[in-house]
Structure 1
Amino acid sequence: MKILIIGANGTIGRAVTNSLQNGNDIIKVGKTSGDFQADISNSSSIEDLFKNIGKVDAIIFIAGEAKWEQFEKLSEEDFYIGIRSKLMGQVNLVRIGQKYLHQKGSFTLTTGILADEPVDKTTSAAMVNGAIHSFIKAVALELENGHRINAVSADLVADAKDKYQDFFPGHTPVPMYKVTDAYKKSVLGLGTGQIIRVKA
């Protein structure tokens, strides 16, 4: 399979890339690194990316950002960071990418535990994750050419616990193999419209 991974050099992206490398052609994309570069908050950049790469069998998105801050301190523009990047970045990836996805190909988007269990300072991030969940369920009903779409929603990942554990008190870190298995399930399985939740 020819698999496009956006965010391939991140903590989860590297693990997912390694787990899918055997027998597949992996194309790694980052904002400033990888085989190709793209700004996923810019639809023209996404379009240019696909024009350069051509058709693929699977598209995985493991990127996007959102502002973490107390609600009372969040400005309207702060909310738009997550809307433009993680929300519309993924929506546009599907909107544009469907033209470059082979028949029966798949999209795998990424959200996270905050959609279901928000913590302090995550109003914007939780809102974006929840919106993506609704998008997945709705667009799965309309995609053509046998295209599938799912989202992986993981709890605090063990490989990132040193950086984020203070934000997630009482959350048991998820082993990375469970996270990579969820991406494999989305890419190699037959399910669509699913939110694949991963907890320890």
Structure 2
Amino acid sequence: MKILLIGATGLLGKAISKELEGKHDIIRAARHNADVKVDITKPHRIKEMFEQVGKVDAVISATGNAHFGPLEEITPELNEITIESKLKGQINLVLLGMSHVNDGGSFTLTTGVIMDEPIYQGASSAMANGAVKAFVKSAATEAPRGIRLNSVSPTVFQESPEKLREFFPGFEPVPLSKVALAFRKSVEGVQTGKSYEIY
């Protein structure tokens, strides 16, 4: 398969790439140091990426910025960071990329555990994660040409910096290799409208 992996240079993206490379033709996209440059907060950049890449069999999003901070300090402007990237950025990959995915292809987006298990300072990110999950579930029922849509919702990674893991007290971290398998299952499998929860 020809797979477009967005966010390929990040911790998660590298793990997904490692799991899929050798089996598939991976086109890596990111803001910097990738085969293709893209900023998912800008729809015209998403369009340019798809035009440059051409037809693909699968699109994976392992990206999306989100604001973290105490609820009483979140302003509409700070919340907009999450909306523009984690939420709209990922959804626009589907809306703008549908015609670039081959029949029977797939989209896999990324959410996260805090949509189900809240953490302190995570309200903005949880909002976007839950919205992406709902979009995938609904859009999968309307996707044309046998195209499948799924999302992967990981918990905190074992490989995450210790400072980040401290925000998840009592959560059991999972290895990135296990999370990457869920993306492989989404791409190579048959399910659609599924949220693969790796908790």
TM-score (norm 1): 0.98
Q: Are the aligned partners of 1:161 and 1:173 in contact in 2 as well (CA < 8 Å)?
A: no
Q: Which residue number corresponds to residue 50 of structure 1?
A: 50
What's the counterpart of residue 89 of structure 2?
Answer: 89
**Which residue number corresponds to residue 67 of structure 1?**
67
User: Per-residue CA shift, 1:118-141, capped at 9, x if unaligned?
Assistant: 100011000000001110111001
The alignment yields a C-alpha RMSD, in angstroms, of 0.8
* Distance in 1 separating the partners of 2:119 and 2:196: 20
Of all paired residues, the percent bearing the same amino acid is 42
CA distance in 1, matches of 2:173, 2:12: 13
What is the CA distance between 1:59 and its match in structure 2? Answer: 0.2
Match in the other structure for 1:122? 122
Counterpart secondary structure, 2:160? helix
Distance 2:92 2:59 in 1: 12
Partner of 2:172: 172
Partner SS for 2:4: strand
Q: Using the alignment, how far apart are the partners of 1:32 and 1:131 within structure 2?
A: 27
Gaps of 5+ in 1: none
CA distance in 1, matches of 2:32, 2:141: 34
Which ranges in structure 2 are unaligned for 5 or more consecutive residues? none
Distance 1:163 1:45 in 2: 33
Shift in Å, 1:162: 1.8
User: How many residues get paired?
Assistant: 199
Structure-2 residue corresponding to 1:29: 29
**What's the offset of the Cα at 1:161?**
4.7
Kindly state the Cα deviation for residue 195 of structure 1 after the two structures are TM-superposed: 0.4
What are the residue-to-residue correspondences of 1:106-145 with 2, within 5 Å?
106-145=106-145
**Distance across 1 between alignment mates of 2:66 and 2:123:** 10
Q: Residue by residue, what CA displacement relative to the aligned partner does 1:30-76 show, whole Å, maximum 9, x if unpaired?
A: 11220011110011000000001100000000011111010111110
Provide the C-alpha distance between the structure 2 equivalents of 1:175 and 1:62, rounded to a whole number of angstroms. Answer: 16
Aligned AA (1:172):
E
1:80 matched to which residue of 2? 80
